[in-house]
Structure 1
Amino acid sequence: MPRPYTTRDTARLEHAAAEYRDMASAATPRYALRTAFDYARFRIADYCAGFRPNPAARETEEKVRTWAQEFGLWIPDVTEHCNDLASYLYPEAPADRLATIGKNFAIDWYINDTIGRERVAGLAPEGKRAAALTREHLLQVSRTLQTGPDAAPVDHACLDMLQELRAGSNNAPQWYTHFLSVWTGHLRTMGHDGNASAGGTVPTAAEYLQTRIDISGMPHTIALGEFATDTYLNWVALDRDALAARRLRWLCAAIGCLSNDLFSFEKEFIRHRSDSNLIPVLLLNHPHLTLDDAVVRAITRVRKHTVEYIRCARSLTSRANELPQPLCMPLQEFVRATESCVKATWTWQLLSQRYRFPGSIFEETRPGWTAATDLGSSG
């Protein structure tokens, strides 16, 4: 159960910031994220070895850039570091579908970096009201596929993107219904101050994770994996196997959002003073922990979910081979799509400039760090 936020919590977060400054002052970083999720004989670098972005990346990224600029969604020094993410997440998508997905991501990055959870906290009351209005307009467009007379460019962009998605999935209307549900669920998290201090309550780690999954957009990101290859699961026909598929989907989402909490910890907690991040949440729930303890616990949670994910993916792949062809192929594609998502989560965040932070406590997010030519090498 959540508990009230108190002045002791403010003091604990201030102490964590002081602990961070001591860590960051060290000549060498404290943690290496490229090996943090390894366990037993499993090496995530080996798991991701040979993983490469979509061959149509350059073509589609330029197309999305032009589109985003036309709608005023391109944020200098922000969108350019994110425009390639779709190419990593969906390496097998045809160029036209990859471009549609890229448009969705461009909208998402725009609203995240203007009215996202760590941004809203720093807005004046008028700015917060404007953020809420932006959110409500986007929800209305998404539900009705219509723009109002006072529609902003982002509303028109959202309409254009959704019309492409609906047309591209017209043979699977149940998929579009699901996508719209998780997309609007994600939109509803925007324009809110996600800090425990603002809400007046401290969520448990489990409560935080469920909220974080919606904030992250992982549910609709995973759903887009089906759109990417125009191959859709028949959830009803899967019967009992649907339970395992849903668990795999949840694990993929948890890995994506919680690993991002590590990569973006400094951007969120240090730069924007946001406590809507797993590491501060752990500190608030367990005041006896040091910052180092909390970071290690956060890493351990991601590793635990990764262990279960690998086992679940192997089990579902084996099970798919026993099913009739109309169920076998879509389930195999679904598992492959989540695997691409997990691999892209690790690979792209290592390579992206988005999370670089001067004096970072993570080796890979320090400016100037470069990956080995082959990310399959963990040395």
Structure 2
Amino acid sequence: MDAKTTRLMSLSDVCKIGPKAVNPHADEAQARSKQICEQAGIYIPSFENYTTMSGYLYPEASMERLVVLITVTNMLYYADEVYERHARQDPDPAEDARLRALFEQTIEGIITGEVPHEDEPLYRGALAIHKAMTPLTHISWVKKLIPALVEHLNSTTYKLEDILQKEGGDPLERYIALRELDGGMRPTIRMIEFANDFYLTDELRSHPFIQSIEAPTVSVGGLLNDIFSYEKEVLAYDSRFNLVAVFEDYYDLPFEHAVHKAVEVVNNHIAAFLALEQSIPVWEDPKTNEIVRRYVKGLRDQIKAAWYWQLSTDRYRSKTSPFPELRMT
């Protein structure tokens, strides 16, 4: 730590980039999505503790679009909770292959509205999402969303702690790269377009500026979650796949110092986003400029949500939280 630093940073020292914004349709959309998820069989008791995030992530989405976004978010959390890697201590290649096939067929169901059977809750969820999403967007965009969904769902079948422990490269850099696969932020930022009913062209999507400004957004979402979920993931599940735990394990730091370094990493990524936000390129076409402006605004909403939603939900709160901000009284 720098000699000039007078105190260690903690959760409350995370950089905030604007006031809280919550979609005015959030409560009604959540109620509608809950009914869809219950009918499909993908509702779990902690539904209210995580689906509220969509109202923060997409504060300007219409009611119909927000219902779809909440349902997709719930499906991802359902897959994480039901098929969570923490539940399996030893590798199981056959089970991993089965899950990958299940996830791929689920995604195919979202695109086509066809599934092998309706006995599997994920398949029923896919049909419900297909029915609700199809009238609101182009099938070509749904197909572009698919790689991000598949990547995230398949990360459930990776023993990420084992990958992290392989030799070679800086542990922190390796962890941040792996966290991008596991954090769910890629599909989350992809859905900014659907939420606000505008779409990036393939050329824009691959533009260096868009690629550059997406990177810190993805990292902030996953890495800030590591701090909020430290008790749940590290202390309760004994997972070491966590930014704070990386500093504890690989840099031999005590908890308070590890949190300080984790906050520093998150704040550096937020600073990188803010610097890029001030240097948006200008295109000749006014429509393109407007789309890019709205997309960057959507990314900003994601970073804001990473702080305000996680602070508001009970998902990371407990009487024994190591963070005073999350301690229930």
TM-score range, shorter chain: 0.7 to 0.9
Shift in Å, 1:200: 6.0
Q: Which residue number in structure 2 is paired with residue 377 of structure 1?
A: none
Residue range with higher mean Cα deviation, 221-230 or 289-298: 289-298
Match of 1:304 among 243, 248, 268: 268
Q: Which residue number in structure 2 is paired with residue 33 of structure 1?
A: 11
RMSD: 2.5
The amino acid that maps onto 1:301 is V
Task: State the 4+ residue runs in structure 1 displaced beyond 6 angstroms.
Answer: none
Shift in Å, 1:32: 4.6
The amino acid that maps onto 2:145 is F
Instruction: Give distance in 2, aligned partners of 1:332 and 1:250.
Output: 17
Distance 1:202 1:107, change over 3 A: farther
Q: Which residue number in structure 2 is paired with residue 184 of structure 1?
A: 150
Instruction: Give distance in 2, aligned partners of 1:311 and 1:55.
Output: 30
Distance 1:206 1:117, change over 3 A: farther
Give TM-score, length-normalised by structure 2. Answer: 0.87
Identity in percent: 23
Instruction: Give distance in 1, aligned partners of 2:204 and 2:79.
Output: 37
The answer to whether 1:218 aligns with 2:185 is yes
Match of 1:328 among 270, 282, 289: 289
Match of 2:120 among 124, 132, 152: 152
Instruction: Give distance in 2, aligned partners of 1:238 and 1:184.
Output: 19
The amino acid that maps onto 1:118 is H
Distance 1:220 1:162, change over 3 A: farther
Distance 1:58 1:238, change over 3 A: closer
Residue range with higher mean Cα deviation, 263-272 or 157-166: 157-166
Distance 1:169 1:202, change over 3 A: farther
Match of 2:28 among 43, 55, 59: 59
Q: Which residue number in structure 1 is paired with residue 194 of structure 2?
A: 227
Shift in Å, 1:341: 0.6
Shift in Å, 1:323: 4.0
Instruction: Give distance in 1, aligned partners of 2:39 and 2:221.
Output: 30
What 5-or-longer segments of structure 2 have no aligned partner? 1-7
Shift in Å, 1:60: 0.5
The amino acid that maps onto 1:297 is K
The amino acid that maps onto 2:154 is R
Instruction: Give distance in 2, aligned partners of 1:277 and 1:270.
Output: 11
Q: Which has the larger radius of gyration?
A: 1
Deviations 1:223-273 (A, max 9, x none): 10011011012241588xx21111111110000000000000110000000
Q: Which residue number in structure 2 is paired with residue 114 of structure 1?
A: 82
Q: Which has the higher contact order (CA 8 A, sep 6+)?
A: 1
Q: How many residues align?
A: 317
Match of 1:270 among 219, 235, 246: 235
Instruction: Give distance in 1, aligned partners of 2:327 and 2:320.
Output: 6
Q: How does 1:29-178 map to 2 (within 5 A)?
A: 32-34=10-12, 36-38=13-15, 44=16, 47-49=17-19, 51-76=20-45, 78-121=46-89, 133-143=98-108, 145=112, 146-149=114-117, 151-162=119-130, 164-170=132-138, 173=140, 175-178=141-144
Match of 2:304 among 343, 357, 379: 343
Shift in Å, 1:143: 3.5
